[in-house]
Structure 1
Amino acid sequence: MRVVLYARVSSEKQAEKDLSIAAQLKALRKYAVEHGWEVYKEFVDEAESARSANRPAFKEMVALAKQKHKFFDTILVWKLSRFARNREDSIIYKSLLRKCGVSVISINEQVDETPAGKLLEGMIEVIDEFYSINLAQDTIRGMKENAGRGYHNGGTIPIGYKAKKIMDGPNEKTRLEPDEAFAPIIRRIFQMCVSGMGAKEIVMTLNGEDLRTSKGKRWNKNNVYYILKNEVYTGTLVWNHQSKSQGRPRAKDPREVIRIENNHPALIDRETFEKAQTLLRARSPEIIHPRAVHSDYLLSGLLYCGKCGSRMLGCAAKSSRFFYYACQNYCKRGKGVCDARLINKDRLEAFGIERV
């Protein structure tokens, strides 16, 4: 019989314990050898939750099982919780695999195909799902307590700050402190904004001086907007202000948001931050349904830069007195990336009409 091995860990901490990928694979290989089974392939998902089926290796394994040619007969897992901790996903995928002639075997939970075996398997999966949901709630509760005491809850440290490790009893915690290598750049970005410069001008200024982000990359408008809208630079810790629903950020109920002012050293004052928000809102385009949007640029979406191959965008200059087509890279990243010249809108459109 040909089998595939599936191993998964949901966190680095779990990987450090006896549930590590290496430990799971070692046990699975030994089990296959003891039963005289041939291992066709090994699939591994690291730092992936079993509460979702959206796991790269898992999806690849299921897709392989669905092929017309049968590559393997059984999936070996260390425990059923490695396969899924969502009862609905477990039922759906096991049913799909069964139709393809593929079974799932847990080497540490011996269940058979009898009615009693199916009942036991279902009970194990329900307990696993309960454990997973309960663990998630405990984790959120711990993160809420951590944020409430002014500690950083993990994730990317905002540019302009660095992590400061401190001991809280036996536990190591993280607070934010200014990173003097980038803090001056953050202050300058806000000053440029309140002085009337737009995000594109700020980007072109920073890239023109060959300044880089904390990741060593060139600046773009997304970087600048993220900084200008981030309240962390006023010394305020904000946690749990949004969640993702279907991949899109959604604002949380204000009562669930933890907000602590003067939590860490501020890089800019509150007055500067609020002035920047006012200017950003004033410059923000009106939100219109896509079907109602029309472009004043006849060749929009049809032109590409001859130097770098990027799309050409319509843009205005001198308080909207002059209109041009410009390279997207030039507009967003500056002439250091592409130095293609602006092309007069009326002349280019007239030329296009003559040629049609």
Structure 2
Amino acid sequence: MKIAAAYIRVSTDGQLEYSPDSQLKVVRDYAQKNGMLLPESFIFQEEEGISGKQAEKRPAFMRMIGMAKQKPKPFDCILLWKFSRFARSRRDSIVYKTMLRKQLGIDVISVTEQLGDDKLSLLLEAVIEAMDEYYSINLAEEVKRGMLEKVSRGEPVTPPAYGYRIQEKRYIPNSETAPVVRWMFEQRAQGISCKEIAQQLNEMGIPTARGLRWEARAVEYLLQNPVYIGKIRWNPHRSSGRQETQQPSMLTEGNHKPLVDLALWAEVQNQQNRRIRRERQCLPKRCYPLRGLVFCSSCGAPLVKSARNALQCCGYAHGNCTISHYIPNQRLEEWIYCTLDADLSLQNLQMAPIPHVNPESLLHLQVEREKKKLERLRDAYEAGAETLEDYCREKARLQARLTTLTADMKRLSFPSVAHKPINISSLLRSNQITGQEKNRLLHTIFKRIVFDSTKNHLDCYYQTV
């Protein structure tokens, strides 16, 4: 008796698909009629709404593929309601079906689109895959077209912003959170920073729309959202989140009530623009020695360099930490160097001479190593362990690395280097090496450094052999 697995997926196509239970019932009936055993542990079902465009974003699918690679193979075939449930992308369909059928000996069967093993069936399956991909692309275009039309009419196409709720296809002010939005705009117009506003909201116990603590960047994003002056902003080229995009957003007049007036909005935007200009002027350009090495004793966040050439807790800067750990960068560096002198007597500790190594030989070894990586990558793709997208991306990266190394071998000259002992303490205080090189050297000495501003105390944790 053959052992079968089942893959069930329902996306967002509405009435065009069977429900998960209906799909599973059809699959069970097929297995029973064809003398197949379908264990409960081999039923892989996605959560509703999961798209079939990318296999990597389907947890149940990837779990099924991972189990199929086990030896001996756990099941003989995979049953689907339709081939479209397996993948909406021809690339994914070809890659995973080839791996399952040819390398693992596991067939993929559509119980409603039954095909044979002849050449015509192979052609029909390819046509079905192409139609499924066309349907998916066309559906996405139709959905985007519908959303563009709604935006042009001033109707919402996204979940309501903080301070609003949706009722009858329009934003309605939320009686509980709308006053909070107005208060945030008023505070920022008075010169209160986004970090301080986030801290006050957290102290008052007011959560975000998702029930989380406020951060400075969340406050900043809210204050730049034109929905609060009665407009609808939507970017059809951006999927989700606050990431930057090169494509322009649509901005239309909405059908909802503004929460702030234009004068207050303009003043807040001026405050934001002035802050951005100041930060860009004072932004540190180079890697500094203590980067990624010093951490806050209160919240554990790293201390990062501020515009005033000082370090401050990252959590405090975002409004998540209540204790400031501000300290001038130069002062903290000298403090750490003195601690090194006292703990390890680095005045007498010197770096051992480095054995002479021909740099050209090292470059040659790196070139050979990258070539072997390319060979292993090709073998992994042919074995089905890598998707086509991952394979192409990693191949391009390795080839670019090979080109750079080859150019270095032709361009660089390698003079002989005289080796002499170097005093580490003096080296760290000098200008002989860059801030990035100092940072690497300190990371080889320290695991982490914890700064407690309330006690004015450092805890240094050294690397161990």
TM-based fold match above 0.5: yes
In structure 2, the gaps of 5 or more residues are 341-465
Q: CA deviation at 1:262?
A: 5.0
Task: Find the counterpart in structure 2 of residue 332 from structure 1.
Answer: 318
Task: Find the counterpart in structure 2 of residue 307 from structure 1.
Answer: 298
Structure index of larger Rg: 2
Give the stretch that moved more between structures: 94-103 or 76-85.
Answer: 94-103
**SS of structure 1 residue aligned to 2:238:** strand
Going from structure 1 to structure 2, the CA distance change for 1:344 and 1:138 (only over 3 Å counts) comes to closer
Alpha-carbon contact 1:244-1:250 (below 8 Å) kept: no
Q: CA deviation at 1:307?
A: 3.3
Task: Find the counterpart in structure 2 of residue 267 from structure 1.
Answer: 259
Matches of 1:308 and 1:252, distance apart in 2: 37
In the TM superposition, what are the counterparts of 1:144-223 in structure 2 within 5 Å?
Answer: 144-153=148-157, 155-165=158-168, 174-223=169-218
In structure 1, the gaps of 5 or more residues are 166-173
Aligned residue type for 2:315: N
Going from structure 1 to structure 2, the CA distance change for 1:71 and 1:311 (only over 3 Å counts) comes to same
Going from structure 1 to structure 2, the CA distance change for 1:108 and 1:309 (only over 3 Å counts) comes to same
Going from structure 1 to structure 2, the CA distance change for 1:133 and 1:293 (only over 3 Å counts) comes to same
Alpha-carbon contact 1:199-1:224 (below 8 Å) kept: yes
Matches of 2:310 and 2:205, distance apart in 1: 26
Q: Deviations over 1:268-300 (max 9, x none)?
A: 122332332233233224399x9x93256x433
* 2:280 is the counterpart of 1:277: no
Going from structure 1 to structure 2, the CA distance change for 1:240 and 1:327 (only over 3 Å counts) comes to closer
Q: Report the structure, 1 or 2, having the larger helix content.
A: 2
Q: Deviations over 1:159-216 (max 9, x none)?
A: 0111112xxxxxxxx1001112111111121222222222112112222333222333
Task: Find the counterpart in structure 2 of residue 344 from structure 1.
Answer: 327
Alpha-carbon contact 1:4-1:74 (below 8 Å) kept: yes
Q: CA deviation at 1:83?
A: 0.8
Alpha-carbon contact 2:163-2:178 (below 8 Å) kept: yes
Task: Find the counterpart in structure 2 of residue 22 from structure 1.
Answer: 21
Aligned residue type for 2:43: E
Alpha-carbon contact 1:242-1:249 (below 8 Å) kept: no
Task: Find the counterpart in structure 1 of residue 34 from structure 2.
Answer: 35
Q: CA deviation at 1:115?
A: 0.3
Q: CA deviation at 1:32?
A: 1.6
Task: Find the counterpart in structure 2 of residue 52 from structure 1.
Answer: 54
Alpha-carbon contact 2:155-2:254 (below 8 Å) kept: no
Matches of 2:245 and 2:287, distance apart in 1: 29
Matches of 1:237 and 1:340, distance apart in 2: 38
* 2:160 is the counterpart of 1:142: no
Cα RMSD of the aligned pairs, angstroms, is 2.8
**SS of structure 2 residue aligned to 1:286:** helix
What is the count of residue pairs matched by the alignment? 330
Task: Find the counterpart in structure 1 of residue 439 from structure 2.
Answer: none
Task: Find the counterpart in structure 1 of residue 382 from structure 2.
Answer: none
**TM-score between both structures, scaled by the size of structure 1:** 0.83
**TM-score between both structures, scaled by the size of structure 2:** 0.64
Q: CA deviation at 1:220?
A: 0.9
In the TM superposition, what are the counterparts of 1:227-306 in structure 2 within 5 Å?
Answer: 227-240=222-235, 242-244=237-239, 249-253=244-248, 257=250, 259-261=251-253, 263-284=255-276, 285-286=279-280, 293-295=285-287, 298-306=289-297
Deviation above 6 Å: which 4+ runs of structure 1? none
Matches of 1:21 and 1:142, distance apart in 2: 27
In the TM superposition, what are the counterparts of 1:103-142 in structure 2 within 5 Å?
Answer: 103-142=107-146
Aligned residue type for 1:156: P
Task: Find the counterpart in structure 1 of residue 354 from structure 2.
Answer: none
Matches of 1:240 and 1:324, distance apart in 2: 38
Going from structure 1 to structure 2, the CA distance change for 1:175 and 1:63 (only over 3 Å counts) comes to same
Going from structure 1 to structure 2, the CA distance change for 1:109 and 1:274 (only over 3 Å counts) comes to same
Q: Percent identity?
A: 36
Matches of 1:78 and 1:6, distance apart in 2: 8
Q: Deviations over 1:332-354 (max 9, x none)?
A: 234xxx44453533554332111
Q: Report the structure, 1 or 2, having the larger strand content.
A: 1
Q: CA deviation at 1:79?
A: 0.5
Aligned partner of 2:221 among 218, 226, 250? 226
Task: Find the counterpart in structure 2 of residue 77 from structure 1.
Answer: 80
